[in-house]
Amino acid sequence: MVASGIVAIFLTTRASAQTTLKDAYKVYFLIGAALNQSQFSGENTCELPLIEAQFNMIRPENVLKWSSLHPGPNHYDFTLADQYVEFGQKHGMFVVGHTLIWHNQTPDWVFQGADGNPVDRDTLLARMRDHIFTVVGRYKGRIGGWDVVNEALADNGSLRQSPWRQIIGEDYLLKAYQYAHEADPQARLYYNDYLLENGPKRAGAIALIQKLQSQGVHIAAIGLQGHYRLDSPSTKEIDDALTDFSRQGLKMTISELDVDVLPSATHSQAADINLNFKLQARWNPYTNGLPDSVQQALANRYAELFAMFLKHRDNIRSVGFWGVTDANSWLNTWPIKGRANYPLLFDRHCQPKSAFNAVIQTAPPQSRGK
Ligand code: GLA
C-alpha cells in the first residue's frame, strides 16, 4: 500500500511537471500569450523555452499597434511585426493581430490635417482603409485573426467618443470590419474590450455586435480582455457574461488574461491604460515576494476562472494571457509605476507558480498530457 502510494504521488508530480498548458487544454481551446520584442526575438532566453513549450497562440503586445507600425504619413515600419509573425509561423502557433483600430497608441497625425485641425470624414476613412489594407494585406494568410476594433465602448455601454467616432461617425466600425474582410477574407475578425462582465457595457457590446451582424459583418469572436483582480469581477459576473454572449450565438476569446493581486488605487475596474497614480508604499506591499496566503488565493482564483472557461468551452475559442512571466507584466507599471505585481502563472525566474499547477489540475484528467 505504502509503496503504491509513493508511486502514485511520483507519477502525479511527474505528470504535472511534464504537462503543458497547451496540452492540458488541447481538446478545449488554444492557450495564448502576448509577446514583446525581447521574447519573439529570442533575446529573453529565460522566457523563450516557456513560450515554445506552453503556448500555441500568440498576440503582440505592441508591435502591430498603429504607432509602432505606421508612425508617420506614408511611413510604415514592419521590422518588428515581421519578426513577430515569423516567430509564430516557425512554431506553428495561431498568430493574432492586435490591433487595427483603437483610440490609444495611434499617432495624432492620423486625425489631423497639415494645419493641425481635425481632418474630414473622407480623409480619415481613406487613411483607415490604407492602413488596414496595407497591414492586413501584408500578413494575409499568416495572421489568422485580427482584433479589428479595440475598446470602442465607454463603460456605460455607449459608443466611446473617440476621434474615430467623432470624425467618421458611428459607422467607422462597419467600415473597419469591411476593409479588414476585403483585405483578407479568410481572417477571423474579433471585437476586443475590457469590463464586458459589467452589465451596461455587456449590453452595449451585444447591441454593437448585433448591429454589425445586421450589416453583414461576421464577428468570429468577441474578445473579453480578462484583466481581472483576485476578487473582481465575481465568478458569477463572469459566468453571466459568458452565458449572455453564448445566448447571442457569439463565440468568445479570453484575450488578455491576468490577475492583479495588489491593492487597488482606484474604485474603477476599467483597464484604461491612461490611468496613472503616484506610487505609495501601501499600494506596493509585496516587494520582497508574494506571501503564501496570496499565492494560494491566486491559484484558487485561476482554478475558478479556468473551471468557468471549461463550463463555457463550447463557445470559447481560446484563452490568452497578457504576458508570460511576472517580470514583464504591464501590471508592474500600471496604473502605478514601480510596483511588484504577480499576475501570471510563471514567476520572475520563469518557474511555474502554484497558479500554474492549479490551471493544469483544473483541466479534466483525461485531457491532460494529450
Ligand atoms: C489594453 C490593450 C492592450 C494593452 C493592455 C495593457 O488591454 O488592448 O493592447 O495595451 O491594455 O498593456
- The pLDDT, as a whole number, for residue 17 is 56
Start-to-end CA span in the chain (Å): 29
Which residue has the least CA distance to atom 11 on ligand 1? 273
Averaged pLDDT, 39-54: 97
Cα distances from 39 to residues 8, 91, 151, 356, in angstroms, run: 37, 13, 26, 20
- The pLDDT, as a whole number, for residue 137 is 98
- The pLDDT, as a whole number, for residue 34 is 98
Cα distances from 317 to residues 201, 237, 249, 255, 339, in angstroms, run: 22, 20, 13, 10, 33
Per-residue pLDDT tens over the stretch 155-199: 999 999 999 999 999 999 999 999 999 999 999 999 999 999 999
Question: Which of the residue ranges 16-20, 34-38, 152-156, 210-214 would you say has the lowest mean pLDDT?
Answer: 16-20
Which residue has the least CA distance to atom 3 on ligand 1? 61
How many angstroms does the Cα of residue 204 sit away from the middle of ligand 1?
Answer: 20
Q: Which residues are catalytic?
A: 151, 256
Q: What is the overall mean pLDDT for the chain?
A: 93
For 145, list phi and psi in degrees, rounded to 5: -150, 145
Residue 166 is placed in which grid cell? Answer: 467623432
Pocket test for ligand 1, best of 273, 275, 321, 329 (most atoms within 8 A of CB): 273
**Is 19 close to ligand 1, i.e. is its CB under 6 Å away?**
no
Residues in contact with 37: Cβ distance below 8 Å, sequence separation at least 6, in sequence order: 43, 63, 80, 83, 84
How many angstroms does the Cα of residue 75 sit away from the middle of ligand 1?
Answer: 24
Per-residue pLDDT tens over the stretch 81-139: 999 999 999 999 999 999 999 999 999 999 999 999 999 999 999 999 999 999 999 99
Averaged pLDDT, 34-53: 98
Report residue 368's pLDDT band, with 50, 70 and 90 as the boundaries: low
CA dihedral 13, 19, 21, 25 (to 10 degrees): -110
Render 194-243 in DSSP notation, one character per residue: S-TTSHHHHHHHHHHHHHHHHTT----EEEE--EEESS-S-HHHHHHHHH
Averaged pLDDT, 211-231: 98
Contact 118, 167 (CB under 8 A): yes
Look at residue 62 and tell me whether its pLDDT is greater than 60: yes
Which residue has the least CA distance to atom 8 on ligand 1? 150
Report residue 366's pLDDT band, with 50, 70 and 90 as the boundaries: low
Alpha-carbon span 169 to 121, nearest angstrom: 8
How many angstroms does the Cα of residue 370 sit away from the middle of ligand 1?
Answer: 32
How many angstroms does the Cα of residue 70 sit away from the middle of ligand 1?
Answer: 18
**Is 328 close to ligand 1, i.e. is its CB under 6 Å away?**
no
